[in-house]
Amino acid sequence: MIANTEKDQLENICSSLLKGFIEWIDMNDGPEKALILDSAYQFKLSMLEQDHQSLQKKYFKMAQDLSNEELITLLIQWKETFSRLINSDLDRVSKDSFKIWFLSLASSSMPSLETDGRILWSKLIEGIEHCKNFSIEDIPYPLNTITKN
């Protein structure tokens, strides 16, 4: 199990990333948000198409069935993946699309981040009408209560 100090550090990192990402998403227009969401959809699809069971696949299929320990384990795995991605030559849209899932997981795993997770999705949803693949049903649990008005 993760130590409280590690969990606090993870929460602080995710909180800062979430606030910065919300500001970044807010500056983009609907088509740009759609580009990021469609890329996020492709990432989700690639996880679901894997032959073996994994926490990633379970998260995308039935996030509500993940235990707290599984959520934190996946969050740590995705933090490490995100750290590698941020320093890679991967394009910005691909990095942002992974960041959507990483920060959504963080906001649903840590109650102090839930409000910011909902704010993030309220901003992202502004691009959904321009999406080719991503739909409102792809918003992860428990953030999937957000609707476009």
Tens digit of pLDDT for each residue in 78-107?
A: 999 999 988 899 899 999 999 999 999 999
- Weakest-pLDDT range from 3-7, 49-53, 76-80: 3-7
Confidence class for position 19, pLDDT limits 50, 70, 90: very high
If you average pLDDT over every residue of the chain, what do you get?
Answer: 90
Share of the chain above pLDDT 70, in %: 95
pLDDT of residue 2: 61
Average pLDDT for 43-47: 93
Share of the chain above pLDDT 90, in %: 70
Confidence class for position 7, pLDDT limits 50, 70, 90: confident
pLDDT of residue 149: 45
pLDDT of residue 146: 57
Six-digit token pair at 15?
A: 């909180």
pLDDT of residue 117: 95
Average pLDDT for 110-132: 95
Flag whether pLDDT at 125 surpasses 90.
Answer: yes
The runs of H, that is alpha helices, within the chain are: 4-27, 30-48, 55-62, 68-86, 92-109, 114-124
Contact residues for 34 (Cβ-Cβ < 8 A; gap 6+): 127, 128, 129, 130, 131, 132, 134
